[in-house]
Amino acid sequence: MSSKLIDGNEIAAAIIAELKAEVATLAKAQATSSRDEPAASGPHDKRAQHLPTLALVRVGDDPASVSYVRKKEKTAAEIGIASRVILPPITTTQAELEALIDELNADDSVDGILVQSPLPAPLDELRIFRRIAPEKDVDGLGTMNLGKVAQDDDTGFVSCTPAGIMALLARSGVDLRGKHVVVVGRSLLVGKPVALLALQKKAGANGTVTICHSGTADLPALTRQADVLIAAIGRPEFITRDMVKPGAVVIDVGINRVEDPTRKTGYRLTGDVAFAQVAEIASLITPVPGGVGPMTVAMLMSNTLKAYRQRIAG
Amino acid sequence: MSSKLIDGNEIAAAIIAELKAEVATLAKAQATSSRDEPAASGPHDKRAQHLPTLALVRVGDDPASVSYVRKKEKTAAEIGIASRVILPPITTTQAELEALIDELNADDSVDGILVQSPLPAPLDELRIFRRIAPEKDVDGLGTMNLGKVAQDDDTGFVSCTPAGIMALLARSGVDLRGKHVVVVGRSLLVGKPVALLALQKKAGANGTVTICHSGTADLPALTRQADVLIAAIGRPEFITRDMVKPGAVVIDVGINRVEDPTRKTGYRLTGDVAFAQVAEIASLITPVPGGVGPMTVAMLMSNTLKAYRQRIAG
């Protein structure tokens, strides 16, 4: 069984180690360059003379958001990415938050901007995401970056969950060429972008892609055709053994709380896949937790470094 | 057989008649308003005081491009949309063409901009399309408008062929809810946007969508599952009877020239579907020519009016 497991913690740790090595190289190059050209100036040099920097904006004190932002801050520190945590009060208006985004967009020392979701009501989250300058939109939720995914354009930022899924597949040796990828769920955050990624004309991709959802007429008939099944529908243990073709690769994006009186907390986390039974027939499968989840923070950091490199180059 | 035919000419003519009626109403309202407020001024009024205007940019004298632009000009005139045809010489550089786009972007009297494809080498077509301001990109080929399609955002412009396909389906009474839509072809111009449209959470859409392409392992097994089959692969008569489920709706996007010595021209036009044999089992089918083709110009005009309305309102 353990050989079947796609270990998201292990793969995320490998990516984080690679990013850390990259930042160390960058920092060394900067130290050398600033000794050589002590009087260097101008906007280009100003950009180059800071370390990669991620602005993390969190509005209010939602416990899950507090914990996610802390995790991002910690991972950034581990890699050597500077993070700037900005905590507008819960009373912040849309206009004030937009003004903050505008400031961060204009700030040359900021490479990436992440606004922690969900924003408290009545803030309009999508409008905020779209206000982030595309070249700093490291969460990849803006319209421009989604459009770039559809255009097979590598200069954009792929949002962290779909990027994490693709990285898990690539690092597990799964090539989608000639494969039928069935995505369950058509969300903007996962279903649609991962479908577009699987379809791209790129090494590792080139899949044939089906996107199903709650309105699909005969869902099991489609999921049973999947060589690679991506479950992102948000229903605990929805994908059962009879819905999976033996030998399929199964990626479980769901994180659902299910009541469990045997636990101290009163609940346990479960994915969209009935793990125990599906694991018996899958060739590879991600667990929940410890599958897709840990990848999202790694991909955010990877996007932040990419933003930094592109801003230095541009 | 004739009851099975989705008549693109007829549907396009109906849309064009509706747009013509809308422009007539607009023109009347403007005439009244300019009598009431003779001294009106300011940018808002300046925008409102012109009729809908489409800039058509054609570089060089490719015969097909000449004919397409003429058709667009003629249809615009019929509706009451002003068109401004701009013919940069074939020697135009990328920088010159970009400067022209910038001028048109800034020109308040222009609502929509279309650059006729294909542009002669070495011009970078995608860079030109992307330079058009999103709010004037009535051909819907820019990154922002494609992203909006993925985001189910109605404020953007859907590129003309996929928009035409959706209009053909809607006006033929085909609701995609609960249907399996199989798209053959993953192009940026047709396959991907039409897949995203079929998937949207909107009346008429909500389909389950499969996107196949030249690298699909067992294409007939997938096309045979289609309730609605959209062929956009660019291979003459590629979809044969054995690849279609009896009762399916078949939309043929292909326009291929096939040698035919019995014709004066030496060729005939054919779609991606073997029409005669597939028509026997399909419930509805588009012919080529006279199916999707005539819809594209109608949708361009519809987008131009939409751009005009949005600019007036904005």
Please tell me the distance in Å from B226's CA to the nearest CA on chain A.
12
Q: For residue B26, what pLDDT is reported?
A: 87
- Domain assignments of chain B as residue spans, ordered by start: 47-133, 160-293
Q: For residue B67, what pLDDT is reported?
A: 94
3-class SS at A167? helix
Which residues of chain A lie closer than 8 angstroms to B152, CB-CB? 188
Q: Are the C-beta atoms of residues B145 and A147 closer than 8 Å to each other? A: yes
The complex's ipTM works out to 0.93
Query: Residue A121 carries which DSSP code?
Result: T
Within a 10 A sphere around the Cβ of B1, how many other Cβ atoms? Answer: 8
* CA distance linking residue B161 with residue B152, whole number of Å: 18
Residue A298 — very low, low, confident or very high, per pLDDT cuts 50/70/90? very high
Using H for helix, E for strand and C for coil, what is the string for B206-247? Answer: CCEEEEECCCCCCHHHHHCCCCEEEECCCCCCCECHHHCCCC
Question: Do B47-133 and B160-293 share a fold?
Answer: yes
pLDDT tens string B135-174: 999 999 999 999 999 999 999 999 999 999 999 999 999 9
Interface check A205 vs B, CB under 8 A: no
Q: Are strands B208-212 and A180-184 parallel, antiparallel or unpaired?
A: unpaired
Domain A47-133 fold is Rossmann fold (3.40.50)
CA dihedral A279→A282→A287→A291, nearest 10 degrees, is 170
pLDDT tens string A109-130: 999 999 999 999 999 999 999 9
Within a 10 A sphere around the Cβ of A196, how many other Cβ atoms? Answer: 27
Query: Residue A5 carries which DSSP code?
Result: B
Known catalytic residue at A139: yes
Q: Among A2-11, A287-296, B97-106, whose mean pLDDT is lowest?
A: A2-11
Interface check A217 vs B, CB under 8 A: yes
* CA distance linking residue B129 with residue B150, whole number of Å: 18
Mutation test of the interface with chain B: which of A148, A151, A187, choosing the one with the most B Cβ atoms within 10 A? Answer: A151
- Out of A144, A193, A211, the one facing B208 most closely (by C-beta) is A211
Mutation test of the interface with chain A: which of B211, B212, B233, B245, choosing the one with the most A Cβ atoms within 10 A? Answer: B211
Q: Among A111-125, B33-47, B74-88, B136-150, whose mean pLDDT is lowest?
A: B33-47
Homologous superfamily of B160-293: NAD(P)-binding Rossmann-like Domain (3.40.50.720)
Within a 10 A sphere around the Cβ of B256, how many other Cβ atoms? Answer: 16
* CA distance linking residue B223 with residue A210, whole number of Å: 12
User: If contacts are CB pairs under 8 Å, which of residues 34-63 in chain B contact chain A?
Assistant: none
Known catalytic residue at A7: no
Which residues of chain B lie closer than 8 angstroms to A150, CB-CB? 146-147, 149-150, 188, 192-193, 196
Q: Are the C-beta atoms of residues B95 and B102 closer than 8 Å to each other? A: no
Q: For residue B46, what pLDDT is reported?
A: 53
Does the pLDDT at position A40 exceed 50? no
Q: Are the C-beta atoms of residues A88 and A69 closer than 8 Å to each other? A: no
Does the pLDDT at position A41 exceed 80? no
Backbone phi, psi, residue A52, to 5°: -50, 130
A190, B21, B298 from A125: Cα distances, Å: 17, 39, 35
Residue A38 — very low, low, confident or very high, per pLDDT cuts 50/70/90? low
Averaged pLDDT for residues A207-214: 97
Residue in the structure block whose two tokens are 């700093």: A136
Q: Which of B7, B111, B116, B179 is catalytic?
A: B116
